[in-house]
């Protein structure tokens, strides 16, 4: 009997350099029973990432391609953890205030994010997120595992202890 993958991890956004896609794929290779759903990207980037996933033999990564913002909430609400894995190639890391962060918070799901000063203005380790070293696939992997094993570690205060989990 084939083991069924549950929807566990989501990333919504662009797939260009600095967005942590390579780090997510590294995590997917180490977490084969976790489904990684990558939402977004332009046509060229989606083709490139699909080729990477095929080359790595990752059958636990699914790409939706670009979706209008109005279509994102069901994807965010279905996730067990939401990732913001920016890395050193993120040009705006020092001053960014990503809309993604606020959309993730509105979904009330645990967040694993890169530990940039600009992100720490809103997300705080152990209070409402798990913060990991930018560009470090091992740190991202550890943060995702921690979030999946102890969801309250990365949950927003008003969500902690809710206990309800679902998969679509």
Contacts of the segment 95-100: beta carbons below 8 A, 24+ positions apart: 97/121, 97/122, 100/12, 100/13
Grouping H, G, I as helix, E, B as strand and the rest as coil, residue 167 is coil
Q: Judging by beta carbons within 10 Å of its beta carbon (0-12, 13-18, 19+), is residue 65 exposed, middle or buried?
A: middle
83: enclosing H helix or E strand: strand 81-84
Residue 60's pLDDT is what? 94
What are the b/e assignments for 99-120, b being 16+ CB within 10 Å?
Answer: ebbebbbebebbbbbbbbebbe
Residue ranges of the chain with per-residue pLDDT less than 70:
1-10, 17, 90-97, 156-168
Question: What pLDDT was estimated at residue 88?
Answer: 74
Name the residue ranges covered by the structural domains of the chain: 7-153
CATH architecture assigned to 7-153: 3-Layer(aba) Sandwich (3.40)
Q: What's the predicted TM-score (pTM) here?
A: 0.83
- Angle among Cα 99, 102, 108 to the nearest 5 degrees reads 145
DSSP secondary structure code for residue 80 in this structure: S
Q: Tell me, what's the pLDDT at 95?
A: 53
Please count the CA atoms within 13 angstroms of the CA of 16 that sit on its side-chain side: 7
| Angle, alpha carbons 153-23-83 (nearest 5°) | 35
Reported as half-sphere exposure (CB side, CA atoms, 13 A), residue 5 has a value of 17
Secondary structure letter of residue 58 according to DSSP: -
Q: Report residue 149 as tokens.
A: 């094993």
């Amino acid at each position: 009997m084939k083991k069924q993958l549950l929807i566990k991890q989501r990333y919504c956004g662009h797939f260009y350099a600095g967005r942590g896609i390579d780090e997510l794929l590294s995590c997917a290779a180490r977490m084969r029973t976790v489904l990684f759903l990558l939402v977004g990207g332009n046509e060229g980037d989606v083709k490139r990432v699909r080729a990477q996933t095929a080359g790595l033999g990752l059958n636990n990564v699914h790409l939706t391609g670009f979706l209008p913002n109005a279509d994102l909430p069901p994807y965010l609400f279905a996730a067990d953890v939401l990732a913001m894995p920016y890395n050193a190639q993120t040009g705006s890391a020092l001053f960014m205030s990503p809309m993604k962060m606020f959309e993730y918070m509105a979904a009330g799901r645990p967040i694993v994010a890169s530990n940039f000063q600009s992100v720490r203005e809103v997300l705080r380790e152990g209070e409402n997120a798990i913060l990991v070293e930018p560009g470090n696939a091992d740190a991202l992997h550890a943060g995702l595992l921690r979030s999946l094993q102890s969801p309250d570690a990365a949950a927003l205060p008003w969500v902690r202890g809710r206990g309800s989990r679902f998969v679509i």
